[in-house]
Amino acid sequence: MDSLTSEIKRSFMLFSLWRTLAWNDVLNRYRRSVLGPFWITISMATTLLAMGPLYGSLFNLTLANFLPHLCLGLIFWSLCTGVINESSTAFNDSAHFIRQIPLPFPLYILRVTWRQLIILLHNLTVVPFVMLVYPPNWSWAMLLLIPALLITLVFLSSVGLITAILCTRYRDVAPIITSVMTLLFFVTPIIWQLSLLSVEQQYFARLNPFTHFIELLRGTTLGHYPSLMEWGLTALFALLAAVIASTLISHTHKRIAYWI
């Protein structure tokens, strides 16, 4: 356990390293592109313009009610699916580092998380335009987005570390993770709203951990005060994921280099 604590501590002390690696990942992805990473923003804006009127009419919702819901749902879901899907190949993608430099393994997950945070910031540039047309409930609750995001990042990074270990050991798990995340997109309130469901259906929808994280992030951004139950459940999920990830990495960190 001491060695694990030391690895986590070393990972955060090497902040400048994984921050630089993540930024270079984003730059390399859009190298020699005129707009660069802002293609991410354009892609998100195009998706909103296409899906907003269509699904709003299908669910019989006004754009003032539906578009901010959809916008924030897609943006925060992009963060969730990006961290988890890209974590599944994090160790294999960094094999040249792992084989040559004794860096702590959580560092590679932090690299993925920071890269997705950069993408999140680019996607969030769409939000002011949506809020300009459809103003939210401006309140101090918006400041709660910061702790909500921190809890979410702890959860996502922990789940990312778990998937990275499993996908490195068992190569067939990576496509399964991608398929599961695709399925979860449709059962998480991103393009639909919980209020459209019956009480029994809402109960089953809330069995999905991502429902609580999306609702927490979206609610605070729109100026709503999340319930204490929402805070408690998301914190509990984050803690459980962190404990499982810590246990798993403590038993496998000496073998990961041989699995690559």
Read off the pLDDT of residues 57-79 as tens digits, 9 standing for 90 and up.
788 888 888 888 899 999 999 99
Q: What is the pLDDT of residue 2?
A: 46
pTM of this structure: 0.90
Q: Please give the average per-residue pLDDT across 146-156, as a whole number.
A: 95
Rounded CA separation 82/75 (Å): 11
pLDDT(249) > 50: yes
Which pLDDT does position 66 carry in this prediction?
Answer: 86
Is residue 165 within 8 Å of 255, Cβ to Cβ? Answer: no
C-alpha distances out from residue 233 to 159, 228, 246, Å:
16, 9, 20
Instruction: Report the range of poorest mean pLDDT among 29-33, 83-87, 215-219.
Output: 29-33
Q: Would you call 61 helix, strand, or coil by DSSP? A: coil
pLDDT for 48 beyond 80? yes
| Model confidence at 6: pLDDT above 80 | no
Looking at per-residue confidence, does 5 or 222 come out higher?
Answer: 222
**pLDDT at position 45, please?**
83
Give the pLDDT confidence score for residue 82 in this predicted structure. Answer: 93
pLDDT per residue as tens digits for the range 195-240: 888 888 888 888 899 999 999 999 999 988 988 999 999 999 999 9
User: What average pLDDT does this structure show over 154-176?
Assistant: 92
Q: Residue 86 in contact with residue 162, Cβ under 8 Å? A: no
pLDDT band of residue 10 (cuts 50, 70, 90) is confident
- d(Cα 157, Cα 224) in Å, to the nearest integer? 26
Q: Report how far residue 118's alpha carbon sits from residue 23's, in angstroms, rounded to the nearest whole number.
A: 8
Q: Write the pLDDT tens digit of every residue in 94-147.
A: 888 888 888 888 899 999 999 999 989 888 888 888 888 888 888 888 899 999
**Mean pLDDT, the chain, as a whole number?**
87
CA distance 184 to 115: 22
Greatest distance between any 2 Cα atoms in the chain: 57
Binning pLDDT at 50, 70 and 90, where does residue 37 land?
low
Q: Which pLDDT does position 15 carry in this prediction?
A: 85
Over the stretch 182-192, which tens digit does the pLDDT of each residue have? 999 999 999 88
